[in-house]
């Protein structure tokens, strides 16, 4: 069903020419020996695994879904999923960027990020199993006791065991302060956890020997709200001291959610009835520990939509080159055929270029953020680590919300290219649309991400993080402002930078009078900020393409054309968004609730 080829050339362009990661890695002692040959080899092998092993299971996994045996509580994943996962483990992919102390390969997060783009293009539902495990690894690695880390991390790193995050309850989604799951301390230092969780991705399956659940719950004397939440490690099977599996823990899947997409992933209702768990981090400070996993998941969800954007684009292009319909308005383009291929039509080009631009912009953006994570984790200079951490904090909600919005737009446009065939399951396009829609919802809805960006990341620190990123944009503008060939990119970038500054100040002043102004402006504001980031990276990519357009490599010609399309057709959306953000809360809040 359809096709997927890893976009290795563009990945290499982003990593080697745009970000110059080899030079960056030399500043990080842990990664100083990582060169272009290693990077390219990992990308090539990862691309092969994604396209040859995982992608063939995408359509069949969607059709088959997961099955729960309610008597045994065993979940069966679609045919081939378990075998593909075993290949993944045997090849060492789970350990790629993990700590060598626990069996990891210690490669940069930047490389792991590129691997996950390819896996998500190939099969988002399948990729969620190892993806969530990596998040659990990060949370435990950052906050677990030495005893928990020595027992659980080697198994998570190897992929022998997988992980989940158990936050949501039926009455409690984003507002975690309302959660009711209880944790009763035991004499041996463990806790008995009782409660129910819903929407737990990869909550139960047969792909790995054990599943490590990270569960939020309340201690008996916990204060109300988010200040009374603790985090616990609750394994499916309680391991013995030597790591072998012991008794089955009292955490079971009660039902699998029937949902519109990602059918190949077991989204479970999990019931805990006195399940044994061990605390991660400090009492009543579980959110601090869980946020490690939640932030990793938010970046991961952005990568899911980037992956879907790319694969939907590839299939739409292949179809548009092959499908014959009508003649070009400017004259016959295929005289030897009864009609022209639809790629000659301007609006088909618009749809294809929209998906292409959102894929290429998203790839540059997410690779940059992954590189900042590597700097945050490994740079020898504390000030550099802090600057990188601040930038990652600022850009994480933009990745999650802007890329998933774009993924929804791009997959919908790609499906539209197919006309009526796009609506038919056998072509595979409607699955990309269905799968993309969840990404705007989970791990904090895009509205929540927008409130986080504007309210917490920008206004709460008086715009400090935003100004630092803006200084990078301004430096690029000043460096290239006199280059006439760059004016078509630099001028709108500079203009948008100024408008974002003014808009931020305006919303901030309104918020002093009425906090609803933040909620009213947040969603369009985040999208404007996302375009500022994309414009910054597209301007940089255009500069490289301009310098190499006479090299004879058509790649640069295509890159320049895509950048010009982005600035001409997609960036102008910001004019409307700025007006929406400035419109204020009054038109939203004037209608009384009982009149809806």
* pLDDT for 441: 96
Using CB atoms within 10 Å of the CB of residue 220, give its burial: 0 to 12 exposed, 13 to 18 middle, 19+ buried: exposed
Instruction: Spell out the residues 6+ positions from residue 147 whose beta carbon is closer than 8 angstroms to its own.
Output: none
% residues pLDDT > 70 (the chain): 100
pLDDT at 286 over 90: no
CA distance 129 to 476: 40
CA distance 202 to 333: 50
**Within the chain, what is the greatest distance between any pair of CA atoms?**
83
Q: What is the pLDDT of residues 36-48, one digit of tens each?
A: 999 999 999 999 9
CA distance 449 to 433: 21
% residues pLDDT > 90 (the chain): 95
Question: Would you say 533 and 365 are in contact if contact means Cβ atoms under 8 Å apart?
Answer: yes
* pLDDT for 288: 84
Q: Which two tokens stand for residue 258?
A: 């029937």
In this structure, the strands spanning 182-185 and 67-69 are unpaired
Which phi and psi (to 5°) does residue 591 adopt? -75, 125
Tokens 């791990």 belong to residue: 443
Q: What is the pLDDT of residues 423-454, one digit of tens each?
A: 999 999 999 999 999 999 999 999 999 999 99
CA distance 77 to 61: 8
pLDDT at 176 over 80: no
Closest CA to 71 of 302, 279, 252, 192: 252
Question: Would you say 423 and 430 are in contact if contact means Cβ atoms under 8 Å apart?
Answer: yes
Q: Where are the domains of the chain?
A: 462-584
Mean pLDDT of the chain: 96
* Residue 218 DSSP label: B
> What residues are annotated to the active site?
443
Q: What is the pLDDT of residues 338-362, one digit of tens each?
A: 999 999 999 999 999 999 999 999 9
| Residue 178 confidence class, pLDDT cut points 50, 70, 90 | confident
Work out the average pLDDT over 465-479.
98
Closest CA to 264 of 90, 441, 74, 54: 54
In this structure, the strands spanning 237-239 and 245-248 are antiparallel
* Residue 81 DSSP label: H
| Residue 171 confidence class, pLDDT cut points 50, 70, 90 | confident
Closest CA to 576 of 533, 523, 535, 537: 523
* pLDDT for 273: 97
pLDDT at 550 over 80: yes
pLDDT at 282 over 90: yes
pLDDT at 1 over 80: no
Work out the average pLDDT over 513-541.
98
| Residue 293 confidence class, pLDDT cut points 50, 70, 90 | confident
Work out the average pLDDT over 219-243.
94
pLDDT at 588 over 90: yes
CA distance 318 to 2: 9
Give the Cβ contact number of residue 241 at 10 Å: 8
CA distance 543 to 564: 11
Tokens 């008995």 belong to residue: 192
Closest CA to 360 of 558, 500, 123: 558
| CA distances (Å), origin 455, targets 9, 111, 484, 502, 525 | 38, 32, 38, 16, 11
Work out the average pLDDT over 4-8.
98
Q: What is the pLDDT of residues 558-587, one digit of tens each?
A: 999 999 999 999 999 999 999 999 999 999
* pLDDT for 297: 86
């Amino acid at each position: 069903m359809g096709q997927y080829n890893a976009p290795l050339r563009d990945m290499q362009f982003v990593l080697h020419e745009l970000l110059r990661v080899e030079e960056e890695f030399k500043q990080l002692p842990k990664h100083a020996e990582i060169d272009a040959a290693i990077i390219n080899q990992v990308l090539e092998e990862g691309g092969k695994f994604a396209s040859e092993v995982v992608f063939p299971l995408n359509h069949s996994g969607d059709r088959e879904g997961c099955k729960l045996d309610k008597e045994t509580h065993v979940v069966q994943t679609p045919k081939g999923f378990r075998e593909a996962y075993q290949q993944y483990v045997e090849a060492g992919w789970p350990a790629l960027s993990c700590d060598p102390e626990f069996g990891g390969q210690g490669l940069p997060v930047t490389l792991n990020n590129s691997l996950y783009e390819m896996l998500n293009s190939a099969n988002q539902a399948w990729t969620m199993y190892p993806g969530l495990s990596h998040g659990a690894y990060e949370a435990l690695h950052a906050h677990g006791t030495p005893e928990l880390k020595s027992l659980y991390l080697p198994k998570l790193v190897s992929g022998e065991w997988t992980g989940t995050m158990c936050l949501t309850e039926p009455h409690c989604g984003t507002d975690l302060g309302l959660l009711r799951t209880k944790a009763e301390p035991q004499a041996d230092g463990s806790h008995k956890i009782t409660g129910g969780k819903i929407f737990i991705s990869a909550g139960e399956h047969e792909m790995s020997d054990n599943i490590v659940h990270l569960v939020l719950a309340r201690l008996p004397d916990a204060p109300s709200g988010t200040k009374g939440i603790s985090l616990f490690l609750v394994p499916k099977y309680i391991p013995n001291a030597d790591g072998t599996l012991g008794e089955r823990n009292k955490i079971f899947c009660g039902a699998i959610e029937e949902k519109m997409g990602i059918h190949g992933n077991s989204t479970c209702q999990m019931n805990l009835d006195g399940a044994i768990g061990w605390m991660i981090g400090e009492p009543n400070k579980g959110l601090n520990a869980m946020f490690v996993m939640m932030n990793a998941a938010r970046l991961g969800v952005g990568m899911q939509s980037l992956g879907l954007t790319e694969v939907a684009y590839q299939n739409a292009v292949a179809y548009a080159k092959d499908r014959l319909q009508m003649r070009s308005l400017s004259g016959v383009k295929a005289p030897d055929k009864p009609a022209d291929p639809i790629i000659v039509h301007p609006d088909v080009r618009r749809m294809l270029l929209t998906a292409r631009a959102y894929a290429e912009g998203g790839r540059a953006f997410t690779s940059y953020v992954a590189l900042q994570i590597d700097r945050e984790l490994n740079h020898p200079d504390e000030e550099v680590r802090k600057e990188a951490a601040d930038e990652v904090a600022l850009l994480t909600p933009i990745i999650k919300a802007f890329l998933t919005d774009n993924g929804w737009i791009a997959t919908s446009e790609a499906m539209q290219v197919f006309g009526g065939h796009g609506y038919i399951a056998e072509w595979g396009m409607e699955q990309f649309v269905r799968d993309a829609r969840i990404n705007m919802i989970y791990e904090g809805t895009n509205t929540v991400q927008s409130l986080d960006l504007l309210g917490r990341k920008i206004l709460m620190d008086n715009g400090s993080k935003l100004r630092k990123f803006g200084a990078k944009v301004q430096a690029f503008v000043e460096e290239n402002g006199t280059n006439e060939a760059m004016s078509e990119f630099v001028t709108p970038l500079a203009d948008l930078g100024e408008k974002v500054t003014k808009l931020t100040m305006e919303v901030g002043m309104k918020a002093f009078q009425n906090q609803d102004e933040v909620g009213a402006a947040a969603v369009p504001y985040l999208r404007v900020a996302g375009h500022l980031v994309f414009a910054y990276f597209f301007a940089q990519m255009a500069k490289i393409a301009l310098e190499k357009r006479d090299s004879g490599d058509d790649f640069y010609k295509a890159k320049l054309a895509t950048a010009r399309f982005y600035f001409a057709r997609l960036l102008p959306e910001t004019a409307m968004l700025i007006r929406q953000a400035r419109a204020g809360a009054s038109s939203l809040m004037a209608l009384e609730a009982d009149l809806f």
